[in-house]
Amino acid sequence: MDNKKIQKINEISLDIGALAVQAILYEVACFPSPGLVSPVSNGAHKDMNFYTFIDSTSIIMKSLVLFAQKGLSEKSPKEIFYDIRNVGIQAEKDMFLKTLGVNTHKGMIFLMGICCAAVSKVIYENKEFNSVQAVIKEMCSDLTLNDFKGIENKSILSNGEKLYIKYNLRGVRGQAEDGIPLVFDYALDIYRNSSNLSKNDRLVNTLIGIMQFCEDTTIINRHSLEVLEWVKVKSKHIISLGGMKTDIGKDKIEELAKVFIEKNISPGGSADLLGITVFLSLVEEYIQKNYTHN
């Protein structure tokens, strides 16, 4: 590989990694974000704060660039997926070492890693942004089947495996396997349609929009399916009132933030999807600016 090609691969990888970091930091920077860590609240978390998230984001930055680098390849999307899993395992180890064992970004590493690699693959093949979802689906085909094969014989189960056995919920794997439909088919639109709001209010509005529909396993793990359904109903009501676009919507979000702290509810899955939404929005602009077809 000649120096010019290596330089181009490094440049794209760093660009995509930087957009991923920006998106992850945007997610934790907005407030009021019910139950979540922000600059003004630890939400429903006693083991982490805003600085824990900055530390965690900083340490996984290297892995985000490597995810992108792996996608700049002639390999098939499925082969790329197998390549990035090792990068993801190392990113998790780095995260836990930096945060002294606190899980700040495990779900985000998984989803963002897939998205970084898929975006790079699309750029490598000189395709449009709207090809990203198809690449993700190809990367993650049969993911649940492969990952959960033989779990009935395991003595120690992860939270994801427990939910799959108990409720047949596929969690974050299912979202990836289906091409992250909640983001591509809904959240990107609500984010675009909230562009007249301030950056902060736009993020919060999109978060509440995602919470209406997200099968949030973080909530189920802490509580139950019933509590998740309650969160969805509350979020739908807030969006029907205008969300961050109206004074009454803002008041209801403030109230929800207080209730989530009292009830120890954290919509961590929705937070991850907000980060992915921001990333893909940034990526769409990046591709249009740098790789638009004439």
Report the mean per-residue pLDDT for the chain: 95
| pLDDT single digits (tens) 71-92 | 999 999 999 999 999 999 999 9
> Quick one: pLDDT at residue 125?
95
Q: Do the domain assignments include residue 282?
A: yes
Identify the domain containing residue 232 by its residue range: 11-142+159-289
Q: Would the pLDDT of 116 be above 80?
A: yes
Summarize pLDDT for 165-181 with one digit per residue, the tens.
Answer: 888 889 899 999 999 99
147 pLDDT band (50/70/90 cuts)? confident
The answer as to whether 121 is a domain residue is yes
Q: What is the pLDDT of residue 293?
A: 55
**What is the per-residue pLDDT across 249-264, written as a single tens digit (0 to 9) for each?**
999 999 999 999 999 9
89-99 pLDDT per residue, tens: 999 999 999 99
Task: Report the pLDDT value the prediction gives residue 145, as an integer from 0 to 100.
Answer: 87
Reported residue count of the chain is 294
Is 58 within the bounds of a domain?
Answer: yes
Does residue 274 sit within a domain?
Answer: yes
Q: Which residue has the higher pLDDT, 148 or 133?
A: 133
The answer on pLDDT for 294 being more than 50 is: no
Residue 45 in this model has a pLDDT that exceeds 50: yes
pLDDT in tens, 204-257: 999 999 999 999 999 999 999 999 999 999 999 999 999 999 999 999 999 999
Establish if 6 belongs to a structural domain: no
Q: Indicate whether 72 belongs to any domain.
A: yes
pLDDT value, residue 151? 86
Residue 95 covered by a domain: yes
- Count how many domains the chain has: 1
pLDDT tier, 191 (very low <50, low <70, confident <90, very high otherwise): very high
Mean pLDDT over residues 62-75, rounded?
A: 97
Q: Counting beta carbons within 10 angstroms of the beta carbon of residue 22, is it exposed (0 to 12), middle (13 to 18) or buried (19 or more)? A: middle
Residue 163 vs residue 106, higher pLDDT? 106
Does the pLDDT of residue 61 top 70, yes or no?
yes
- Output the pLDDT for position 200: 98
User: pTM of the full predicted structure?
Assistant: 0.96
Residue 160: band (very low, low, confident or very high) from pLDDT cuts 50, 70, 90: confident
Could you tell me if residue 4 is inside a domain?
no
